[in-house]
C-alpha cells in the first residue's frame, strides 16, 4: 500500500467569484443576474451553508478589448470587491470575505485602511489576495499612467505589504480608553506613525483604525513566476494557484512552495494552497461526460470561440462557421498586441496558430473544439463519490490544501456541491461538519500574522 503523507488533511473550500471573464455561463435559462447583489448574497450564503472558508472575489479593473473593440461576450459590470464584501459581511456570520486588490496602482495607507475596515466590520473575516496585475493597459486607468516591469512590480508589492502590516500593527492592543472614566479616548503614545522614503513610497502615515480580532487580514497571493513564488514564501498565508486540474503539476508546485517556505525560515505547512478549479457533478457515472461537454460548450459558445481564435489570428472572424475548420490562411507574423487584457497578449501569433492547426488535424477538431481544448481550464468531473475521492487524494498526497471553486453557473452553481459533494467528503472524514472558529484565520488553521509571532 502506498504511504499517505498527510492522512489527516482536510479539504478547504473557497468560492471564486470571477471579475471580467468569459467562463461563467450567462446565456443559459438557469443563469441568474451576473451583477445584482442578490446573486452575490445567494452564492455567499450557499457557500456558508456548505461551511466554506471563503467567498473570494477577483479583480478586473478594465474591460478587455481587441483592436479597439470591447470583447462583448465577456461578463462585466461587477462592483468593487471591498464594497461588495462589506455588504455581505452584514448578511453572513462565519464565511471569510476575500478581496483581490493589486499593489501596483493602489496606495498602502488607503488600501490597508479599507481592508482593516472590512476586517473590523466582519469581526475578523477579511482576506486580501495580493496581486501585481500584469496588464500595461490597466495602467492607463491611473494617474501614474504607467506600468512597472515585472521585477519592480514585485519590489513594490513587497514594500506595499510590509507597510500594510506596519499599519495593522500601529495601534497598541490597549490604544482605546478602557472606560468612560478615562481622561482620554486614545491612550497617549498608543498609535505609531509610519514613515517610508523609498523609490516607491514617500509617506508618513498615522493609521486611523485599531487591530481586528484576527490580527491582520489573511494574506492570499496569486502569481506563479519564480519571483511570485518567493514573494508568497516570504509573505503570504494562502496561495490561489492555477494548478487545479492535473495532480502532478499541482504537487510539483506545492513541493516547490514548501521548499521555498523552509528556505525563507518558515514551517513547510505555513501556507495553504488553494488552486482555482471547476467541479462538474452528475448523479450517475453514465451522465458525466455529457454534462462535462455541455458545460464546456456553454462556456465556449460559437461566438466566444470565434472571438478567442480571432484574438490569435488578429482579425475579425465573426463571419466564419465555428463548427467548421480553423481559418484557411495563417495570421500575419507578429506578436499578439491588439488584444488587451487577454491571456495570450505578447505571444507569437504564427507559432500558436501552427500548434492549433496541428491539434485540429491530428484529432479532427472544428474551430470551436480547438478553442475549447486550448482555453478551457477544466477541473474535476464525476459522480459526487468519485470527486470526493479525488479531492481527498489531492489533499492527503500534498497536491493542495483545498480548492477555490469557480461555479460555472451563478447563483445556483454551488447547490449540488453543497448538497451532494460535501456530505461525501464528510463521510470520508476530509471535510468539517461545523465551523469551529469565527475568523478566517481560524477556519484556515493558520498561525498568527507573520509580524505577531
Ligand atoms: C490564479 C491567478 C489569479 C489571478 N487573479 C488576478 C486578478 O483577479 N486580478 C489581477 O489583476 N491579476 C490577477 N492575477 C495576475 C497577477 O496579478 C500577476 O500579475 C500575474 O500572475 C503575473 O505575475 P507572475 O508572473 O508572478 O505570475 C492572477 C494570477 C493568477 C495566477
Q: How confident is the model at residue 145 (pLDDT cuts 50, 70, 90)?
A: low
How far apart CA 388 and CA 384 sit, in angstroms, is: 6
Q: How confident is the model at residue 65 (pLDDT cuts 50, 70, 90)?
A: confident
How far apart CA 154 and CA 228 sit, in angstroms, is: 7
Instruction: Read off the pLDDT of each residue in 269-281 and give the average, rounded to a whole number.
Output: 97
Q: Distance from the CA of 67 to the center of ligand 1, in angstroms?
A: 23
Residue of the CA atom closest to atom 11 of ligand 1:
133
What average pLDDT is seen over the chain? Answer: 94
Q: Does the pLDDT at position 368 exceed 90?
A: yes
Q: Does the pLDDT at position 1 exceed 60?
A: no
Q: Does the pLDDT at position 274 exceed 80?
A: yes
- Stated pTM of the model: 0.95
The angle formed by the CA atoms of residues 378, 383 and 388, to the nearest 5 degrees, is: 80
Neighbours of 144 (CB within 10 A): 11
Residue 183 vs residue 376, higher pLDDT: 183
Percent of the chain with pLDDT over 70: 98
Instruction: Read off the pLDDT of each residue in 236-241 and give the average, rounded to a whole number.
Output: 98
Q: Does the pLDDT at position 237 exceed 70?
A: yes
Query: What pLDDT, on the 0 to 100 scale, is given for residue 128?
Result: 98
Q: Find residue 335's DSSP bridge partners.
A: 348
Q: Model confidence over 218-228: pLDDT tens digits? A: 999 999 999 99
Q: Is any ligand 1 atom within 6 A of the Cβ of residue 101?
A: no
Tell me which of 23, 78, 157, 223 to substitute to probe ligand 1's pocket, judged by most ligand atoms within 8 Å of the beta carbon.
Answer: 223
Q: How confident is the model at residue 144 (pLDDT cuts 50, 70, 90)?
A: low
How far apart CA 5 and CA 7 sit, in angstroms, is: 6
Can you say whether residue 123 is alpha, beta or left, with left for phi > 0 and alpha for psi between -120 and 50 degrees?
A: left
Q: How confident is the model at residue 135 (pLDDT cuts 50, 70, 90)?
A: confident
Instruction: Read off the pLDDT of each residue in 318-342 and give the average, rounded to a whole number.
Output: 86
Residue of 194, 275, 287, 290 whose CA lies nearest to 241: 275
Q: Is any ligand 1 atom within 6 A of the Cβ of residue 103?
A: no
Q: DSSP string covering 341-397, please?
A: SSTTTTSBHHHHHHHHHHHHHHHT--HHHHHHHHH---EEEE-HHHHHHHHHHHHHT
What phi, psi does 328 have (nearest 5°)?
-65, -35
Query: What pLDDT, on the 0 to 100 scale, is given for residue 341?
Result: 74
How far apart CA 270 and CA 188 sit, in angstroms, is: 36
Residue of the CA atom closest to atom 31 of ligand 1:
223
Site of grid cell 470527486: 387
Instruction: Read off the pLDDT of each residue in 381-388 and give the average, rounded to a whole number.
Output: 98
Contact 95, 43 (CB under 8 A): no
Percent of the chain with pLDDT over 90: 80
> Of ligand 1's atoms, which has the minimum distance to the CA of residue 60?
9
Query: What pLDDT, on the 0 to 100 scale, is given for residue 338?
Result: 66
Indicate the range of 72-76, 208-212, 406-410 predicted with least confidence: 72-76
Strands 272-281 and 379-382: parallel
Instruction: Read off the pLDDT of each residue in 157-186 and give the average, rounded to a whole number.
Output: 94
Instruction: Read off the pLDDT of each residue in 46-61 and give the average, rounded to a whole number.
Output: 96
Q: Is any ligand 1 atom within 6 A of the Cβ of residue 228?
A: yes
Instruction: Read off the pLDDT of each residue in 426-430 and give the average, rounded to a whole number.
Output: 98
Query: What pLDDT, on the 0 to 100 scale, is given for residue 220?
Result: 98
Q: Is any ligand 1 atom within 6 A of the Cβ of residue 419?
A: no
Instruction: Read off the pLDDT of each residue in 140-164 and give the average, rounded to a whole number.
Output: 88
Residue of 294, 218, 223, 289 whose CA lies nearest to 257: 223
Instruction: Read off the pLDDT of each residue in 432-448 and give the average, rounded to a whole number.
Output: 98
Cell matching residue 261: 517556505
* H or E element at residue 241: strand 238-241
At residue 247, the 3 state secondary structure works out as: helix
Instruction: Read off the pLDDT of each residue in 359-366 and give the average, rounded to a whole number.
Output: 96
Amino acid at each position: 500500500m502506498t504511504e499517505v503523507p498527510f492522512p489527516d488533511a482536510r479539504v478547504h473550500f473557497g468560492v471564486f467569484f470571477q471579475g471580467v471573464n468569459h467562463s461563467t455561463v450567462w446565456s443559459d435559462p438557469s443563469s441568474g443576474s451576473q451583477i445584482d447583489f442578490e446573486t452575490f448574497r445567494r452564492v455567499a450564503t450557499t457557500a456558508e451553508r456548505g461551511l466554506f472558508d471563503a467567498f473570494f472575489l477577483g479583480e478586473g479593473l478594465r474591460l478587455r478589448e481587441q483592436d479597439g473593440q470591447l470583447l462583448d461576450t465577456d461578463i462585466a459590470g461587477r462592483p468593487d470587491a471591498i464594497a461588495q464584501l462589506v455588504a455581505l459581511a452584514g448578511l453572513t456570520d462565519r464565511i471569510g470575505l476575500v478581496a483581490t486588490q493589486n499593489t501596483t496602482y493602489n496606495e498602502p495607507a488607503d488600501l490597508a485602511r479599507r481592508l482593516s475596515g472590512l476586517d473590523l466590520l466582519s469581526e475578523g473575516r477579511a482576506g486580501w489576495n495580493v496581486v501585481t496585475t500584469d496588464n500595461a493597459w490597466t495602467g492607463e486607468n491611473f494617474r501614474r499612467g504607467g506600468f512597472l516591469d515585472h521585477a519592480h512590480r514585485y519590489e513594490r508589492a513587497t514594500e506595499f505589504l510590509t507597510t500594510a502590516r506596519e499599519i495593522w500593527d500601529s495601534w497598541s492592543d490597549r490604544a482605546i480608553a478602557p472606560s468612560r472614566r478615562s481622561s482620554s479616548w486614545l491612550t497617549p503614545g498608543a498609535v505609531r506613525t509610519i514613515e517610508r522614503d523609498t523609490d516607491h513610497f514617500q509617506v508618513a502615515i498615522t493609521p486611523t483604525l485599531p487591530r481586528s480580532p484576527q490580527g491582520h487580514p489573511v494574506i492570499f497571493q496569486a502569481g506563479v513566476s519564480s519571483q511570485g513564488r518567493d514573494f508568497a514564501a516570504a509573505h503570504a498565508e494562502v496561495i490561489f494557484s492555477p494548478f487545479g486540474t492535473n495532480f502532478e503539476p499541482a504537487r510539483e508546485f506545492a513541493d516547490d512552495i514548501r521548499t521555498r517556505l523552509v528556505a525563507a525560515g518558515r514551517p513547510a505547512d505555513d501556507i495553504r494552497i488553494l488552486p482555482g478549479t471547476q467541479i462538474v457533478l452528475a448523479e450517475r457515472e453514465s451522465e458525466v461526460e455529457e454534462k462535462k461537454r455541455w458545460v464546456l460548450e456553454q462556456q465556449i459558445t460559437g461566438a466566444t470561440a470565434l472571438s478567442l481564435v480571432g484574438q490569435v489570428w488578429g482579425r475579425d472572424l465573426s463571419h466564419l462557421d465555428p463548427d467548421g475548420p480553423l481559418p484557411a490562411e495563417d495570421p500575419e507574423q507578429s506578436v499578439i498586441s491588439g488584444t488587451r487584457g487577454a491571456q495570450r497578449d505578447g505571444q507569437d501569433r504564427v507559432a500558436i496558430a501552427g500548434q492549433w492547426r496541428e491539434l485540429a488535424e491530428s484529432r479532427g477538431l472544428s474551430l470551436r473544439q480547438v478553442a475549447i481544448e486550448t482555453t478551457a481550464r477544466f477541473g474535476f468531473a464525476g459522480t459526487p463519490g468519485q470527486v470526493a475521492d479525488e479531492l481527498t487524494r489531492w489533499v492527503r498526497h500534498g497536491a493542495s490544501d483545498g480548492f477555490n471553486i469557480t461555479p460555472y453557473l451563478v447563483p445556483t452553481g454551488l447547490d449540488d456541491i453543497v448538497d451532494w459533494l460535501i456530505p461525501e467528503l464528510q463521510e470520508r472524514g476530509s471535510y468539517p461538519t461545523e465551523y469551529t472558529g469565527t475568523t478566517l484565520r481560524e477556519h484556515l488553521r493558520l498561525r498568527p500574522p507573520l509580524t505577531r509571532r
